[in-house]
Amino acid sequence: MGKWLTELDQLLRGEHTRKDDLRAGRVGLPARRLAVLGIALGLVYGAGMGLFAATGGREHAWRHLVASAAKLPLLFGLTLLVTFPSLYVFAALANSRLRVRETLRLLVAAITVMLGVLASFAPVTVFFTLSTDSYRFMLLLNVVFCGLAGLVGLGFLFRAVNLVFPDEAGAEEGRRARRIFRVWLLLFGVVGAQMAWILKPFVGNPQLPFAWVRDSRGSSFFEFVLRSITDNWR
């Protein structure tokens, strides 16, 4: 346990992503250990998220908890799986100095940072779960936490990308590579949002029965957001 926390501590402090190493195109992160750590952190926050549906004397309470806990790491893993090949191909075309492994390591690290931030919010989620019964509030709270975690992960990734592709040397190449990472981030966000939509429920609407995954074919996250906005304006 202590060893893992040290690992997380080092990652968050940026000791794995030191300036000199990144400048030289070296990403010496222990990817496998970070992936395991990320999964553990995801389980923690997922369980915190699922607690809302597991309390309140509802049927299959434990299943809710297990389902949310398992689905959160899955969400990030699957999103990475879908978006990684294209990122790698386009980065290589832009003469990125990072090879396949290094690119993957960097992304695993950024995702682990995100999950670390999320896990740190877990006690807050649990606290609110135990003190409120508003589903909408819990939904909003979780969206805010995910958004914040996303921003921190984004900051981590951009700091690293800016160091790997510095402005001075090979300005054109660097600019191109950074642009590709930026576009990829957009793709990651879009796929991630839709992935979450497919894997829902995470919080669990108390009015609906338990389901490991709800049937969401024929609808999308973006449609939902658009409809929510237009419905409120009318």
Partner 1 sequence: MIAPRLDVEGLLRGEGLHRVGGGRPLLGRLVLTLALGGALYGGVMGAFGLNAEQALYSAVKVPLLVVVASLVCLPNFWVVNLVLGLGPDFAAAWRGLLSAQATLAVALASLAPVTAFFYASTDSYDFAKLLNFAVFGVATLAAQRTLARHYRPLLARDRRHAVALLAWPALYFFVAGQLAYVLRPFIGNPRFDTTFLREHWWGNVYGDLLWAVRGL
List of residues contacting partner 1 (CB under 8 A): 81-83, 85-86, 88-90, 92-95, 99-100, 187, 191, 194-195, 197-198, 216-218, 220
Burial status of residue 223 (CB atoms within 10 A of its CB: 0-12, 13-18, 19 or more): exposed
Q: Give least dist CB 24 to partner 1, A.
A: 18
Closer residue to partner 1 in complex, CB, 90/128 = 90
φ, ψ dihedrals at 37, nearest 5°: -60, -45
Closer residue to partner 1 in complex, CB, 2/218 = 218
Q: Give least dist CB 116 to partner 1, A.
A: 26
Closer residue to partner 1 in complex, CB, 152/193 = 193
Closer residue to partner 1 in complex, CB, 107/119 = 107
- DSSP labels for 99-138? -HHHHHHHHHHHHHHHHHHHHHHHHHHHHHHHH---HHHH
Closer residue to partner 1 in complex, CB, 3/217 = 217
Gap between the Cα atoms of 19 and 12, Å rounded: 14
Q: Give least dist CB 218 to partner 1, A.
A: 5
Q: Give least dist CB 92 to partner 1, A.
A: 4
Q: Give least dist CB 27 to partner 1, A.
A: 17
